[in-house]
Amino acid sequence: MLVPETIVCVDCGGTCSRLSYEPDDGFAPGAVVAYRCRDCGDRWDLVIDDDDTV
Ligand SMILES: [Zn+2]
């Protein structure tokens, strides 16, 4: 599964950097990937879903 390096913060529109390192064999469906917003410091946990193209 491909997950983005960054996502857009829902709260402030800033950039959230990925905190979790990608495993060698990639993220499995159901894995939780954590992001931290550079602007407001909020943490976002993204669940990798099989039928959800990120
Ligand atoms: Zn933010």
Q: What pLDDT score does 15 carry?
A: 98
> By the 8 A CB rule, do 19 and 3 touch?
no
Q: What pLDDT score does 53 carry?
A: 52
> By the 8 A CB rule, do 35 and 3 touch?
no
- Give residue 16 CA to ligand 1 midpoint distance, Å: 7
- Give residue 42 CA to ligand 1 midpoint distance, Å: 6
Q: What pLDDT score does 9 carry?
A: 97
- Give residue 48 CA to ligand 1 midpoint distance, Å: 21
Mean pLDDT per block of 10 residues along the chain (54 residues) reads 89 96 88 96 90 55
Q: What pLDDT score does 52 carry?
A: 53
